[in-house]
Structure 1
């Protein structure tokens, strides 16, 4: 990304301005430039390229509704001719512009062998190294999430998630431990083992730690279901088609961890990823089975396709043993959340009004909107079992995102500040800077909140 964005003060002038400031900008231009824009019928929208008297590119102007939006310039890098451009924009817009510039260059072409395009892209020069460095870190973390989600399950199994965590630890001087296969039973992670045991790819708990022990403890937990067939409650073909993305929660916490570590945030970070494949075999968990979780709570399996909460509950139990300042989990958990809020607005649940408000405000500021959902405790009755402490999901579909969150809440202490994000992790339509496929939702909002709190 250093070839696309750099700290420099040279290049063809590129003005990026809000539409309501266009007339003021135009009044300051030469008569030649004003005439060119008028004669080319430029409508103060999008990109205009202006020549000098020799017909060479003299400057470019890009007009948007709101340059503070972090995807407002998401297509600009593909529209400009190759070369280096020097950014002219107000200080408050530069971070968003730099991030969206880089996101516009993102593509996942690992498996493309025919007609692969590698056209040269322009470079944006910005006379502010701090903004450039931070934008690159944000873009790299977002690209990591996208790449992990986009990778087919055949190349993104639990061992591969473990390798990714190890690579991050090596890069930022952290540590990774993994509990694999039957070791999960020996160390009392029975639900992670139960969900993953039917696969030829051994289940595991990935445990990444980073930072100084005297700093505030923040623990991230990410659902790592590398492929979800539904288990014996088999999904239909349409529902299974994109289940490579069911490890999206793990991708999110790894991307968020990269943001935290690359910015050297003063926290004691722990990342827990229960990584499994929910497969079908003779030893797969069955509807009606009862599992004793790490917390000692017995769970009757109502549906094997509600497996994400099963792997998460053991990890949350472990996360809470250290009494961290904050536990945050990310998961592609329920279709009910997508029904409630659509695919582009992630819902979250929180036991802390203060943290929930802070993250919501951070998301609005940084164009990463999130929406708080209610932990409506009376719906907990829907998880009652006649033969165990609880079931893994309700028998009725109503309020499915809430009942899933209430299930997880059983595994964190009442005084723990805990957030649960239920995300899509996937773009179902292409938008500027946001192509079809894997996407990071909420990690910039959470990081901005953490950065403000722990700076």
Structure 2
């Protein structure tokens, strides 16, 4: 079926047919008039949030799907009336929300519904659609990876997938197998992954587009986290297939940055492990010696993410990175601190709150700056080693995890740590979010690189 979209900035325009309170519940409403389906989309002209436009577009996509529409006519002249943003910004945001809401993970469904809805719009908006689709495709790539079951995304299968994703692109990929890890300095990655029949690997990605300033992304790629010897006991352990959400964000960001052809030199380091118990598993009390000589006492095998991220940070510094961002589904504590809508962002050179609010609004990946409290370093002291991988206190777990990682960062390096454990799934499958993974971090990382890489 075919329909038309009518954008409105005042609900009075259709109040005679659709009560105003319905628009308060959902900004997308529809009528069947004169043998024609019309979808009314309410966006006040004083809207200042790109995210709100993306959400409305997502709601439109879902509602037209439910009603069985196969094509839509859209005119974007309405967006010329926006007061707090340019028409270009608002139109790109609309397309992004539309494409993100079109996502569905149905790889393992026996029957697949055709969810294609064709958009008809003037050709001068094709560039807006193209820009938005590059972003949405990168986010949906991360969603796909996170939604894969653990037996279909073992470290080896994941590595093969990464090679395929970047085939014939401007991103070079090198895979380190189990036998190469120690030689390249990935001691902790080897130790964490050795208990699984699916041996650990590391994916090294490089995008070189002219800039002399080396930047690096490090993503936690735990394809399944049982907790190791310190086994998890929670009811939702199946969601631990998404413990590689940080790595998925890095892969999506590298895909997007390559598509945008940003003028940066960027490396990605992605340790790939499965953390599960066996007779070969690493144990609480084990000592791991890192490539830089730092010794770590394993206090808990379920604090494995920070162990492999430290490997990645050290490798990034070895190749000369001056700017490093690591991202991981690292601690449940971050959800206790910030809830389920914002990830925590730490840095040794933190910017203002306004800076992160701007990035959050621009991308839709919302973060909140978290403190690095030096006094808490005492909680990581070890009688045996230089440092312990778990704090002696149950409080402030996300902060102490960040402190552990900071111990491997040179003071001259600008470093970010993003704890996204609470946002790997959407808070609710509303707006442009669908069931499954959120794809968090792709847009955030790309925006950080864009702002802090190109501006150097």
Fold equivalence (TM over 0.5): yes
Interval of TM-score (by shorter of Structure 1 and Structure 2): 0.7 to 0.9
Partner of residue 71, structure 2: 83
Distance 1:383 1:122, change over 3 A: same
Q: Bigger CA drift: 393-402 or 235-244?
A: 235-244
The aligned residue for residue 3 of structure 1 is none
Residue 249 of structure 1 aligns to a residue whose secondary structure is: helix
Distance 1:56 1:384 in 2: 70
- Deviation, 1:365, is 3.2
Distance 2:352 2:161 in 1: 29
CA drift at 1:171: 3.8
Backbone CA RMSD of aligned residues: 2.3
1:177–1:357: structure 2 CA closer, same or farther, 3 Å change rule? farther
Structure 1 gaps, min length 5: 1-10, 27-33
- State the SS of the aligned residue for 2:197: coil
Q: 2:119 pairs with 115, 118, 123, which one?
A: 123
2:368 aligns with one of 354, 367, 371: 371
Kept in 1: contact 2:3–2:36 (CA 8 A): no
1:432 positional shift: 1.9
User: For residues 452 and 191 of structure 1, do their structure 2 counterparts lie closer, same or farther at Cα, with a shift above 3 Å needed?
Assistant: closer
Question: Hey, what's the Cα distance between the residues in 1 that align with 2:310 and 2:271?
Answer: 10
The residue matched to 1:165 in structure 2 has which SS? helix
| Correspondence 1:244-259 to 2 at 5 A | 244-259=241-256
Is residue 58–residue 431 contact of structure 2 (8 Å, CA) maintained in 1?
Answer: yes
Spell out the pairing of 1:61-210 with structure 2 (5 A cutoff). Answer: 61-64=40-43, 66=47, 68-69=50-51, 70-80=54-64, 81-88=69-76, 89-90=78-79, 91=87, 92-114=89-111, 116-123=112-119, 125=121, 127-210=124-207
Structure 2 regions of 5+ residues with no counterpart? 80-86
Provide the rounded CA distance (Å) in 2 between the counterparts of 1:40 and 1:364. 31
Distance (Å, rounded) in 1 between the aligned partners of 2:116 and 2:413: 50
Give TM-score, length-normalised by structure 2: 0.88
CA distance in 1, matches of 2:353, 2:315: 23
How far did 1:124 drift? Answer: 5.1
Measure the CA separation in 1 of the matches of 2:379 and 2:406. Answer: 14
- The question of whether the paired residues in 2 share the 8 Å contact of 1:108 and 1:150 is answered with yes
Summarize the Cα distance change of 1:14–1:359 in structure 2 as closer, same or farther, 3 Å threshold: same
Question: Which segment drifts farther, 445-454 or 177-186?
Answer: 445-454
Q: Is the 8 A contact 1:157 1:201 kept in 2?
A: yes
Runs in 1 of length 4+ with deviation above 6 angstroms? none
- CA offsets, 1:224-268, max 9 Å, x none? 000011111111152522110001110010011111111111111
What TM-score, normalized by structure 1, do the two folds share?
0.88
